[in-house]
Amino acid sequence: MLSVWAIEGIAEIVAGDNLAAIIGDAIAAAGGLEDGDIVAVTSKIVSKAEGRQVEAADREDAITAETVRVVATKVHPRGITRIVENRLGMVLAAAGVDSSNTPDGTILLLPVDPDASATVIARALRLRFGVGVGVVISDTLGRPWREGQTDVAIGASGIRVLDDLRGTADAAGRTLDATIAAVADEIAAAADLVKGKSSGLPVAIVRGLGHLVSGLDAPGASAIVRRAADDMFRLGSAEAYDEGYAAGLAANREQN
């Protein structure tokens, strides 16, 4: 049976806090962990503990600094939304720079290496509670073709982030040729249902998925990121048009 619940008792996190110990204390007060549990942690508290806060006035500069490639831009009454590929390889709005649930006048950048951050927490929890557990670090993203946002895994350790079902049979006996379940994303989304966006509950426990828990050397959430070379929608429509138009002009110049 699958169970998901939020952990209470985690106060405001500040730069330099021992996040693994703070999470461990809160979990211990709530009854501890069992073998096979997965701990879902909101990326904001990881960023805060790692000192990833910057002045809000520097937001646009921060987005630019975190950007590797601009995918699409859209002008709206409040300014310009930039969909970009950030230095982690993720395609998302504003490079993941966020102003929600942060002190006034500040914004948060994503953790430098979310998989490494997840490993630090997972290792500490395994040592403290003496059980095999996994950790997922989540953040909120929009999705192409879909309205709204959902939480996905941007960091993970000690779990199998993808469940490759290719070659197995469906309920009707037909062979699955393309199905790879993004289970780390599904765990992040399930945990967000109990953590919420404004309830001050940044950590949740997911119990009942012990078959996904693995060694700390398993690939992290970076393995979920689709590389640009394999992305059929690498650019926004306007950007794709501009790129194609420029290529056409260049081809015409060569012919002439």
For residue 162, the domain's CATH number is: 3.30.1330.100
Residue 71 maps to a domain: no
Rounded mean pLDDT, 103-129 = 95
13 vs 238, higher pLDDT: 13
At 86, which helix (H) or strand (E)?
strand 79-86
What is the distance between the alpha carbons of residues 148 and 22, in angstroms, rounded to a whole number?
Answer: 32
Helix (H) or strand (E) holding 155: strand 146-157
Tokens of 11: 């106060």
Whether 158 and 218 have beta carbons less than 8 Å apart is answered as yes
Domain extent at residue 21: 3-43+112-249
Quick check: 45 and 11 in contact, CB under 8 A? no
On average, the pLDDT of the chain sits at: 92
Residue 97 lies in a domain: no
pLDDT in tens, 25-76: 999 999 999 999 999 999 999 999 999 998 888 888 889 999 999 999 888 8
Residue 253 — pLDDT band, cuts 50, 70, 90? Answer: confident
First CA to last CA distance, the chain: 69
178, two tokens: 């393309």
Does this model's pTM top 0.95? Answer: no
Please report whether residue 213 resides in a domain.
yes
Confidence of residue 236 (pLDDT cuts 50, 70, 90): confident
Residue 175 lies in a domain: yes
Quote the number of domains for the chain.
1
Give burial (CB, 10 Å; 0-12/13-18/19+) of 220.
buried
Burial of 111 (0-12, 13-18, 19+ CB in 10 A): buried
Pairing type for strands 38-42 and 53-55 reads: unpaired
Per-residue pLDDT tens digits for 169-182: 888 899 989 889 99
